[in-house]
């Protein structure tokens, strides 16, 4: 069992005929993911590699019973796509898109919170449930089924750690990229709760970075609620204050959000914190 996804998940891709959408849809299908169709306004009735294309998410849901949507459209269209997926009753929305303006995202976030949908991302690599489904852009071969849950703010850093786990013979239940933006649909705490409740997940790795206080909230949650061992790595210990490090969310402001304070909070909560992400497998042995 994985969290968020299972063998019955029916996945559509919003933006299936776009540059990113088409490339990654093929990879997802290759992986064995149950992609049931896609959405591109104006192309309803056409086909993409044997999957039906719809004009709207609503039509796609009616025809296929889709309950998961991967959003792979450029930033100017992404907030609209999130609203559409919510209003069509999609349970799980995964938004890959980078560079969505913060205020737009706050409105979309609010709409998601007022609904029963769950949002992962934006600006995230998506979800990979090894052996079950790949909903996003993570390279499938780096993972294998197992009992470690991985949750991360970053894309390629996730690959790094998942690959190290796999090389060390430790498979994963689910790898979740929550995204590096200031406003994201699901927090570390949301995902940690799911891992804690998932009987298959025995250990958890959390990969954070400087900026904001999501890792501090995670530390408090772990201390109060988690029974499973957790290892962590926080990126950006060498980053100077006041400079944004690529991710819109990765900035230390007014002395808040430093790697040092996050590491201290996590250690205080009993988390094994690595100073090199390649140490994570050892810390979880």
Partner 1 sequence: MNLHEYQSKSRFAGYGIPVPQGKVATTPDEAYAIAQELGGTVVIKSQVLVGGRGKAGGVKLAKSADEARARAEEILGMSIKGHIVHKVLVDPASSIAHEIYLGITNDRAAAQPVLMASSEGGVEIEEVNRTNPKAIIREHIDPLMGLFSYQIVKVALGIDLPRDQWRAFSKIVQGLYQCFVENDAALAEINPLVITADGKLIALDGKMSIDDSALARHPDLAAMRDTESEPEAETQAREAGISYVKLNGQIGCMVNGAGLAMTTMDMTKLYGEEYGIGPANFLDIGGGAKAEQVSAALRIILSDPNVKAVLFNIFGGITRGDEVARGIIEAYDEVKPSVPMIIRLQGTNAEEGRAILDSADIPNLRTAATLTEAAQKAVEAAKGAM
φ, ψ for residue 141 (rounded to 5)? Answer: -70, -15
- The answer to whether 18 contacts partner 1 (rule: CB under 8 A) is no
Cβ proximity to partner 1: between 190 and 198 the closer is 190
Residue 114, Cβ density class (10 Å: 0-12 exposed, 13-18 middle, ≥19 buried): exposed
Which one among 73, 218, 239, 265 touches partner 1, defined by CB under 8 A?
239
- The answer to whether 225 contacts partner 1 (rule: CB under 8 A) is no
18: left (phi over 0), alpha (psi -120 to 50) or beta: beta
Structural Rg of the chain based on CA atoms: 18
| Span from 39-47, 197-205, 235-243, 265-273 in contact with partner 1 (CB under 8 A) | 235-243
Which one among 15, 146, 212, 281 touches partner 1, defined by CB under 8 A?
212
Which one among 68, 119, 138, 284 touches partner 1, defined by CB under 8 A?
138
Cβ proximity to partner 1: between 41 and 76 the closer is 76
Judge contact between 147 and 228, C-beta under 8 A: no
- The answer to whether 52 contacts partner 1 (rule: CB under 8 A) is no
**Site residues (CB under 8 A) for partner 1?**
20, 75-76, 98-104, 106-107, 109-111, 125, 137-139, 142, 152-160, 163, 180, 182-183, 207, 209-210, 212-213, 233, 235-240, 243-250, 254, 259, 275-278
| Active site members | 247
């Amino acid at each position: 069992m994985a969290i968020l996804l299972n063998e019955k998940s029916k996945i559509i891709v919003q933006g299936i005929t776009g540059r990113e959408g088409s490339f990654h849809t093929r990879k997802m299908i290759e992986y064995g993911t149950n992609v049931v169709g896609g959405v591109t306004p104006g192309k309803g009735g056409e086909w993409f590699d044997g999957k039906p294309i719809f004009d709207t998410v609503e039509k796609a849901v009616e025809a296929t019973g889709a309950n998961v949507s991967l959003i792979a459209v450029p930033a100017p269209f992404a907030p609209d796509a999130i609203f559409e997926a919510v209003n069509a009753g999609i349970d799980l929305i995964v938004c890959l898109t980078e560079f969505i303006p913060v205020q737009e995202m706050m409105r979309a976030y609010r709409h998601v919170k007022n609904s029963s949908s769950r949002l992962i991302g934006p600006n995230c690599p998506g979800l990979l449930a090894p052996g079950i489904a790949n909903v996003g852009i993570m390279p499938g071969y780096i993972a294998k089924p197992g009992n470690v849950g991985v949750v991360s703010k970053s894309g390629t850093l996730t690959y790094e750690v998942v690959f190290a786990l796999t090389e060390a013979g430790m498979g994963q239940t689910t790898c979740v990229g929550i995204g590096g933006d200031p406003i994201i649909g699901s927090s570390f705490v949301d995902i940690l709760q799911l891992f804690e409740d998932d009987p298959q997940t025995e250990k958890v790795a959390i990969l954070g970075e400087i900026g904001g206080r999501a890792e501090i909230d995670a530390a408090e949650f772990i201390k109060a609620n988690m029974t499973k061992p957790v290892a962590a790595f926080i990126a950006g210990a060498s980053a100077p204050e006041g400079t944004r490090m690529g991710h819109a969310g990765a900035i230390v402001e007014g002395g808040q959000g430093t790697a040092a304070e996050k590491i201290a909070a996590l250690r205080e909560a009993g988390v094994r914190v690595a100073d090199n992400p390649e140490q994570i497998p050892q810390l979880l042995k």
